[in-house]
Amino acid sequence: MFSNSFFPEKACYFVGIGGVSMSALALLLSERGIRVRGCDARESHFTRKLRAAGLRVTIGEEEISENTIVYTEAVDMHAANLERARRAGKRLLSRAELLGRIAEEYPHVLAVAGCHGKTSATAMLAHIFSCGKRAFTCHIGGEDLDLGNYHCTGGEFFLTEACEFRRSFLRLKSEIAVVLNTDLDHTDCYRDHDDLLAAYRMFAESADMAVVNADDAGARSIPCALSFGLYAGDVRAKHLFGEGERYAFTVTEKGTPTVRIHLRVHGKVQIYNALAAYAAARLAGFTPEEIRRGLESFRGVKRRFEKVGTLNGAPVICDYAHHPREIAAAMDAADGICAGTVRVVFQPHTYTRTRDLMKDFVAVLRRAENPIIYRTYAARERFSFDGSAVALVSRVPEASYVQSPENLKKRLLEEVGKADVVLALGAGDIYEIVKGIVDG
């Protein structure tokens, strides 16, 4: 698949190989005859999955003999192993650069961008292509319950998430670009919303065709082949019916009804993801009936409103929500299935996001009854009190701060009743922590 000039030694090394995207790309290269090995800071489900596939994975740093090194943007660029490789004149590729290069090998590329919903919308597309028996490869930024984070049936279409962090998505040249929404995020690399919107516009305009959310004030200003939405757009959802936060709706194309779809996943926000996938699939040549079968086969993605167990008889649901808009959507979905009280546990993700969106975090968390704020997941950042969990708690009078799994379980056992729902939110290690304290 790859020319000899790109991988002359047919080998490469991944720094941060255990990430959801990095592990998918490692598997993709390995299946195409590239010798892949790598390291990560910690053991995880993905490192174990890679070993099971025959890849060598080391926990911690090691000497790197390969001349091509792929690194995740989450890794410190001044890490010792990268510095040594740089001094030795080795070729360093960021994850985004590799993803862009891989995409060039496919005749057709569909890339999904947006502050929220990328993983679900990309996974929905993968199910449409799978049910439609197309030859495709998908790279998903989460684990689809059926397809995982990487799935391949052929090399005609490449389906991928397109991340806006550090303008990574501008490395991708796609045939169909999808913009789900344009909420402000990643304030460590964008000056303001206008700066972010300009990047989304560049991403969409570099594609042959674009699909945008007509209900999003920023996205609807981007030229497109098709738009979607509940209140505006070419592709809309009409006659909504929700039961237990699972929705059925009729799709219309420029006012004409085409098909009725019954989603199996929770939350009204999933209607937007489904409409985006529908519009992109229509541009790729699918019929409405083919799309319906694909969307109705989609059971969800891990960490996206996923039930992971119970506590005191109450269901415990984990969601990746780490932005105020995502938190609000997850809380709305939980309210729709809860007879008692939704008990929110939130772990802030990065200090800059918490600091710069503090007002919005406070507003949404004050909706919850006595929310629990877990210690911040710093990711790539150094401690900053202004963006810390403690600073957030100080602005939410109803909230309490917890910093250990033991104390979290103790607090929840004291407060949670059988009619309640525990909603654990965040993109850090809160998922593993909560899974470790729940009943089976």
CATH of the domain at 113: 3.40.1190.10
Domain termination residue (choose one: 41, 67, 94)? 94
Kindly indicate the confidence band of residue 8, based on its pLDDT and cuts at 50, 70 and 90: confident
The pLDDT assigned to 82 comes to 87
| pLDDT over 90 at 76, yes or no | no
The pLDDT assigned to 77 comes to 72
Q: Does 264 fall in a domain? A: yes
% of residues, the chain, pLDDT over 90: 91
Q: Could you tell me whether strands 136-144 and 148-152 are parallel, antiparallel, or unpaired per DSSP bridges?
A: antiparallel
Q: Average pLDDT of 293-310?
A: 97
Q: Does 4 fall in a domain? A: no
Cβ proximity of 111 and 172 under 8 Å: yes
Q: Average pLDDT of 240-252?
A: 96
Cβ proximity of 53 and 25 under 8 Å: no
- CB neighbours of 354 closer than 8 A, spacing ≥ 6? 348, 361, 376, 387, 388, 389, 391, 392
| pLDDT over 90 at 117, yes or no | yes
* Same domain as 249, residue 178: yes
CA distance 246 to 260: 14
The pLDDT assigned to 7 comes to 76
| pLDDT over 70 at 71, yes or no | yes
* Same domain as 325, residue 364: yes
Give Cα separations from 313 to 43, 186, 344, 418, 419 (angstroms): 31, 38, 16, 5, 8
Mean pLDDT, rounded, of the chain = 95
Let me know how many helices (H) and strands (E) the chain has, helices first. Answer: 14, 21
The pLDDT assigned to 2 comes to 63
Side chain identity at residue 309, one-letter code = G
| pLDDT over 70 at 327, yes or no | yes
* Same domain as 336, residue 267: no
pTM here? 0.95
Phi/psi at 395 (nearest 5 deg)?
Answer: -100, -5
Q: Does 3 fall in a domain? A: no
Q: Does 2 fall in a domain? A: no
Q: List the CATH number of the domain containing 399.
A: 3.90.190.20
Domain termination residue (choose one: 264, 297, 330)? 297
Q: Does 99 fall in a domain? A: no
The maximal CA–CA distance of the chain, rounded, in angstroms, is 62
The pLDDT assigned to 305 comes to 96
Q: Average pLDDT of 66-93?
A: 88
Q: What letter does residue 376 receive in the DSSP assignment?
A: P
Contacts 24+ apart (CB under 8 A), 431-437: 431/303, 431/308, 431/318, 433/374, 433/405, 433/408, 434/308, 434/316, 434/318, 434/345, 434/408, 435/308, 435/309, 435/318, 436/405, 437/311, 437/405, 437/408, 437/409, 437/412
The pLDDT assigned to 363 comes to 98
| pLDDT over 80 at 292, yes or no | yes
* Same domain as 21, residue 119: no
Q: Does 197 fall in a domain? A: yes
* Same domain as 114, residue 260: yes
The pLDDT assigned to 118 comes to 97
Q: Quick one: which of 291, 290, 249 has its CA closest to 270?
A: 249
Q: Which two tokens stand for residue 369?
A: 């009854």
* Same domain as 245, residue 138: yes
The percent helix, strand, coil of the chain (3-state, each to 5) is: 35, 30, 40
Q: Could you tell me whether strands 157-161 and 108-113 are parallel, antiparallel, or unpaired per DSSP bridges?
A: parallel
CA distance 169 to 203: 7
Q: Average pLDDT of 161-186?
A: 95
Q: Average pLDDT of 118-131?
A: 98
CA distance 273 to 298: 12
| pLDDT over 70 at 1, yes or no | no
Q: Does 101 fall in a domain? A: no
| pLDDT over 90 at 440, yes or no | no
Residue carrying the six token digits 């979290």 = 408
Q: What is the pLDDT of residues 14-37, one digit of tens each?
A: 999 999 999 999 999 999 999 999
Which residues form the domain of 31?
Answer: 11-94
Q: Quick one: which of 317, 228, 310 has its CA closest to 277?
A: 228
The pLDDT assigned to 143 comes to 97
**Residue 316: in which H helix or E strand, if any?**
strand 314-319
Cβ proximity of 70 and 93 under 8 Å: yes
Side chain identity at residue 316, one-letter code = V
**Residue 257: in which H helix or E strand, if any?**
strand 256-266
Q: Quick one: how far is CA 159 from the chain centroid?
A: 14
Q: Does 177 fall in a domain? A: yes
* Same domain as 144, residue 55: no
Q: Quick one: which of 80, 36, 83 has its CA closest to 58?
A: 36
| pLDDT over 90 at 68, yes or no | yes
Q: What is the pLDDT of residues 187-208, one digit of tens each?
A: 888 999 999 999 999 999 999 9
Phi/psi at 102 (nearest 5 deg)?
Answer: -60, -45
Q: List the CATH number of the domain containing 33.
A: 3.40.50.720
* Same domain as 118, residue 80: no
* Same domain as 317, residue 273: no
Domain termination residue (choose one: 66, 94, 122)? 94
| pLDDT over 80 at 6, yes or no | no
* Same domain as 207, residue 141: yes
| pLDDT over 80 at 3, yes or no | no
* Same domain as 250, residue 113: yes
Q: What is the pLDDT of residues 340-377, one digit of tens each?
A: 999 999 999 999 999 999 999 999 999 999 999 999 99
The pLDDT assigned to 20 comes to 95
The pLDDT assigned to 4 comes to 60
Domain total in the chain: 3
* Same domain as 172, residue 287: yes
